Structure 1
Amino acid sequence: MNWVPPGPAWLFCPADRPERYDKAAARADVVILDLEDAVGAADKAGARESVIATPLDPARTIVRVNAHGTDDQAADLEALKQTEYTTVMLPKCESAEQIAALAPLNVVALIESPLGAMTVFDSLAADNAIGAMWGAEDLVAAMGGNSSRHANGEYRAVAQQVRSQTLLAAKARGLFALDSVYLDIPDLDGVRTEADDAVAIGFDGKVAIHPSHIPVIRQSYAPTAEEIDWATAVLDAVSHNRGVFTFRGQMVDAPVLAHARRIVARSSLS
């Protein structure tokens, strides 16, 4: 892996809106300049010119190119040769070969089709795969459905399954995993609930479509002072104990230590 995410709060920015680039970069840990769904067919050429002419920090920016095998992806890749960006997001990813074809670029695989969901572990075997994200809306549309969520806002079972499959596959490959976007922009409580769950089960970040979601995501990922105190104390206690030990009435073994290390790592990003 040649690129490490600098934080958990990611933000999509339409590539044909260069006036928004700097604002997005000022708010989010990572900006995804979107050449795919956010840009209409007639505007894609201009969007590529904007990506070239309006550079952001390559360490905090990735570009979502168009899908494998399309003329638009070929044009995207030609445009990227004129930039310093080294990482792309591949939509509708369905195989390791699709990822490998983008080398030497690093690739975040976006899993959002039935085949992509069934092959995600194999796809992430590509040497230039660095992480994975999942998407519900294109997935459900590809299956002939019309809604990824129940009326109460919870994901339907098939979407939850793909969310879990993507997370498990990324972690099994030692890569980072990103939770999908929350489309109800004014519902910040819904964003918080979903971001809290993403933290709880091990997603390394969550992607947003609106700047107002960024501080909510950051707050979910930021450990409390009590959590940091506990994690630091547990890790300090390791030097005085061998194997499994008891700390403040809790058994401490390898999974607990891993949890403590993750809390400390998250605190460094908040």
Structure 2
Amino acid sequence: MSLRIRRSEMTCPAHSLAMISKAAVSEADEVIIDLEDACAVSQKIAARATVIQALQTLDFGQKLVAVRPNAVQTHYHYRDVVEIVEAAGDKIDVLVIPKIETGDDVRFVDRLLSQIEANIGLAVGSIKLEVLIEGTRALQAVDHIANASPRLESLIFGLADYAGDLGARSADDQWGMFAYPKHKMLVAAKAAGLAAIDNVTFAFRDPEACQHDAERAAAMGFDGKWAIHPAQVPIINQAFLPTAAEIAEAQRLINAYAEADQDAGLGAIAIDDQMIDAASLRVHAKKLALAKRAGLIEN
């Protein structure tokens, strides 16, 4: 699994440089500049220039910088990707691809990116992918999607579109009615070594609802959550932080493993009746990376 931290992924409309600027100085771990749902049809083509301007001029600090183009099935998609990546590909960490339905959709984006990267002198594979699982076809194919490209770093559950595709009358009871698709996507992501990102809390003026959803997602095993308003970001970040006890345990196990390697050349050790090896330490390394990012421990 990638150790890149994605507790909070904040979306902002691609046509608004002002909103992108606010997101750039927010506390979010990742900023997603959105050409899809947050961008009106009349603004989609013109917004590409705004995205390029934002990428070339704004300081995003240590954040992951992502762009969400329009869906592969639309006539906007290929020009979104070509124009923006050719102009500012070196400023982009991730493309977030909506409305994915099959593994072939992911492979199409992968191949398109490879051609553009080679053309502009970027190392092929530099720009990573996150994909939205937000339809019934996508959920059926989620295992294939999760393993479709080495560029993939996370799967994201899109509740609103999934509910619409299902024909649900409401998306309010997300932890009851939608527990199955959330869990199925979560399992597929973790089995493929990917991060799993939970959907947004739509009531962005309700901090208690956001906290409840974020804590529930973290407890379930999600690695992060979408945000649509800066006020949601600190709530989400806190919910996905490890506890002091978890940090201490992670440090203990990692230190013990390093000592065993240095002193005896051991690649696996037993601690408290647990078998600890390089693979199992990845979970603990991620906890420490989160804690360092949040300033809970020194680098």
Q: Which residue of 2 aligns with 1:135?
A: 158
Amino acid at match of 2:98: P
Cα–Cα, structure 1 residues 156 and 268, in superposed 2: closer, same or farther, change >3 Å? same
Q: Does the CA-based 8 Å contact 2:3-2:286 persist in structure 1? A: no
What secondary structure, in the 3-state scheme, does the structure 1 residue paired with 2:11 have? strand
Aligned CA distance change for structure 1 residues 168 and 229 (closer, same or farther; 3 Å): same
The equivalent position to 2:74 in structure 1, one of 70, 88, 92, is 70
1:175, 1:202 → 2: CA distance?
A: 12
Q: Distance in 2 between matches of 1:175 and 1:89?
A: 14
Q: Helix, strand or coil for the counterpart of 1:178?
A: strand
Amino acid at match of 2:129: V
State the match for 1:218 in structure 2: 237
Following TM superposition, by how much is the alpha carbon of 1:183 offset from its aligned partner in structure 2, in angstroms?
A: 0.5
Whether the 8 Å CA contact 1:134–1:180 is kept in 2: the answer is: yes
2:95 to 80, 88, 96: 88
Give a deviation string over 1:72-127, Cα, whole Å, max 9, x none: 11221232122222521111111111111112353211000000011011012222
Letter in 2 for 1:229: A
1:9 is matched with: 8
1:32 aligned partner? 32
1:225 shift after superposition: 3.0
Alpha-carbon offset, residue 265 of structure 1: 2.9
8 Å CA contact 1:7–1:269 kept in 2: the answer is: no
- Runs of 5+ consecutive residues of structure 1 not aligned to the other structure: none
**Aligned twin of 2:18:** 19
- State the 1:206 CA deviation: 1.1
- Cα distance change of structure 1 residues 61 and 168 upon mapping to structure 2, 3 Å threshold: same
Paired residues for 1:101-250 under 5 Å: 101-103=108-110, 104=113, 105-127=127-149, 128-150=151-173, 154-157=174-177, 159-237=178-256, 239=259, 243-246=269-272
Q: 8 Å contact 1:137–1:147 — kept in the other structure?
A: no
Cα separation, 2, equivalents of 1:6 and 1:256 = 18
2:124 aligns to what?
none
- Alpha carbons of structure 1 residues 166 and 107: separation in structure 2 relative to 1, 3 Å: same
Q: 1:201 to 1:256 in 2, by over 3 A?
A: farther
Once the two structures are superposed, what CA deviation does each residue of 1:239-258 show, in whole Å capped at 9, x if it has no partner?
57985443xxxx54559866
Q: Which amino acid aligns with 2:141?
A: T
Amino acid at match of 1:19: A
Q: Provide Cα deviations, 1:209-249, integer angstroms capped at 9, x if missing partner.
A: 11101001111122233432333234445557985443xxx
User: Given that residues 132 and 155 in structure 2 are in contact (C-alpha distance below 8 angstroms), is that contact kept between their aligned partners in structure 1?
Assistant: yes
Kept in 1, the 8 Å contact 2:147–2:192? The answer is yes
Percent identity between the two aligned chains: 29
TM-score, normalization: structure 2?
0.78
Relative distance call for 1:50 and 1:136 in structure 2 (3 A) is same
- Range with bigger deviation, 232-241 or 115-124: 232-241
Counterpart Cα distance in 1 of 2:252 and 2:128: 37
Q: Give the aligned residue type for 1:90.
A: I
Query: Quick check: 2:10–2:233 contact (8 Å CA) kept in 1?
Result: yes
> What residue ranges of structure 2 are gaps of 5+ in the alignment?
114-126, 261-265, 295-299
For residues 34 and 242 of structure 2, the distance between their equivalents in structure 1, rounded to whole angstroms, comes to 30
